[in-house]
A = this chain, B = another copy of it.
Amino acid sequence: MPSSPRPNALQSLPGSTVQYVIDTLSTRIVSQEYAAEERLPSERQLAQDLGVARNTVREALDQLEERGMIRRRAGSGSFVTYDPTGAREAISPVAAETGPLQLQVMRGILEPEMVRLAIVNMSPRQIDDLSEILSKMEAVQADATAFVRLEEEFHRRIAEGTGNPLLMACYNLVIDARRQSFRTAMYRRHLTPARIAEYQRGYNGLFNAIAARDIEEASEFMKLVLIQDQKLLLQET
């Protein structure tokens, strides 16, 4: 019985059948028929329900995944990652497929060298700007989200301080991935006031080293912050 539960989708539409599945599913997601962060039916189930082949469902899910509406885990299922209520920022495809560990690896490569370059290139004015960011960071008590935003800005300023456009472009990708990681992995859960204070000490030391143009010290502090991030990462199961 391969007949036709579905009226007809084989007409007129651009890339018709797959598009039909995409439209159907994305509508259900946006309308929260499939709630955020919850599982949607298995591919085989969807194929049967919609009266199409599993292949077709897969292709539709591929595109939804690229759009950042769902996330898939082999053996587990497909999950909605679309938050209709919240700030909907476009996530780059790279960020989406970068895991927390891969992010840490990349940061471990870039950041220590980046701060070295920044130190020998930053103008006093840029350092002043940095200190302003630091002040705001030190004012934060418990607002994890605000703190992470400021961290991001702090890092971005350091990248700018290198004066290397290629490095800045690369680091922007890293920042995107980091923001994405923060959203999905829910760092904030573990970013307690005590830990924030710990980070503040790290960044304070980092800034002082930069202001003093102490390259090795700054590089070490940069690694320290990275290690703190890693600890936070390991807190999660």
Contacts and interface: CB of A to CB of B under 8 A. Distances in A.
Interface string A184-211: 0000000000000000000000000000
Given A105-B117, A117-B105, A166 B98 contact: yes
Interface stretch (A27-35, A167-175, A228-236): A167-175
Contacts of A166: 94-95, 98, 102-103, 106, 173-174, 177
Interface in A68-109: 94-95, 97-98, 102-103, 105-106, 109
A164 B103 CA distance: 8
Interface size class of A (residues with CB under 8 A): 20 to 34
B117 A164 contact: no
Given A170-B174, A173-B170, A174-B170, A164 B102 contact: yes
A97 B177 CA distance: 24
Contact of A170 (B106, B117, B164): B106
A113 interface: yes
A54 B103 CA distance: 36
Nearest to A97: B165
Interface string A147-167: 000000000000000001111
Contacts of A225: none
A164 to B, nearest CB: 5
Nearest to A164: B102
A118 to B, nearest CB: 12
27 contacts: A94-B165, A94-B166, A94-B169, A95-B166, A97-B165, A98-B164, A98-B165, A98-B166, A102-B164, A102-B166, A102-B167, A103-B166, A105-B117, A105-B164, A105-B167, A106-B164, A106-B166, A106-B167, A106-B170, A109-B110, A109-B113, A109-B167, A166-B173, A166-B174, A166-B177, A169-B173, A170-B174
Given A102-B166, A170-B173, 7 more contacts: A94-B169, A105-B117, A106-B166, A106-B167, A106-B170, A109-B110, A166-B174
